[in-house]
Amino acid sequence: MSATFLRSIFDPKELPSDGVPEIALIGRSNVGKSSLINALTEKKELAKTSSTPGKTQSLNYFEIDKRYYLVDMPGYGFAKSSKTARGQWAGLIDQYFADRQVLRGVGILLDARHIGLDNDNLIMEWLSGLDYPWFIVLTKVDKVKQQDISAHERHLKKEFERAEVVFKTSSKDGKGIASLRAYLKNQIALPEFATSE
Ligand code: GTP
Ligand code: MG
């Protein structure tokens, strides 16, 4: 997988309009979005990571295999974020998802240690109401017992039927990364899906 950083976008008006297909990664602050991009691309410092939540504040575009973009989104649910910051996050995200024809999939990342958080559930309900294909990526499975992961997976599949797949990943030990990579490649090759508008 070749990968280069393209650019950071703070204003929806600056979104690429080159028709290149893309996959967006969304999730709470600190869930491991940037780390996942580094694991997928096998580049340790492509996306900036931090143990302090709130590291990514813009939509960060990465060009993959000269074929598609991976979009690293700013995290939500960061306790210390101000009301203004939360408003900015919602504005950027809302406008991004309003009409993004090139979007071939949305991955929501869930920390395998903390399943069932209110803000994650809200986002998944909201995603279920949109037309984009979406999937779940459990992160940090290296920190959780296999039986707990299986229970989470069963619960999520039952609760969120619109989610196409549940991936179980660890950016630390590489678990599940290859199958996610293969899925993304396949997703990008799909023709543009019809939106209901
Ligand atoms: P924001 O940019 O703040 O939204 O966070 P993010 O979702 O991009 O998280 P990031 O990738 O920066 O990772 C947050 C912390 O979790 C870092 O300290 C990572 O090293 C750690 N981390 C990420 N993925 C894993 C994983 O699979 N296993 C373990 N053990 N730690 C991980
Ligand atoms: Mg990040």
pLDDT tens digits for range 173-191? 999 999 999 999 999 988 7
Q: Is the pLDDT of residue 49 over 50?
A: yes
| Ligand 1 closest atom vs CA 37 | 11
CA of 154 to the centre of ligand 1 (A): 24
Token pair, residue 122, equals 């809200």
Q: Is the pLDDT of residue 196 over 60?
A: no
> Is ligand 1 within 6 A of the CB of residue 38?
no
Q: Are 180 and 40 in contact (CB under 8 A)?
A: yes
Nearest CA to ligand 1 atom 29: 140
CA of 129 to the centre of ligand 2 (A): 25
Nearest CA to ligand 1 atom 5: 30
Ligand nearest to the CA of 54: 1
Lowest mean per-residue pLDDT among 55-59, 104-108, 188-192? 55-59
CA distance 5 to 157: 33
Amino acid identity of residue 29, one-letter, is: S
Token pair, residue 2, equals 């070749």
> Is ligand 1 within 6 A of the CB of residue 187?
no
Q: Are 107 and 24 in contact (CB under 8 A)?
A: yes
CA of 10 to the centre of ligand 1 (A): 22
147 confidence band (pLDDT: 50, 70, 90)? very high
pLDDT digits (tens, 9 = 90+) for 58-93: 899 999 999 999 999 888 876 566 777 777 778 888
Q: Given ligand 1 and candidates 35, 55, 60, 62, which is best to mutate, with the most ligand atoms within 8 Å of its CB? A: 35
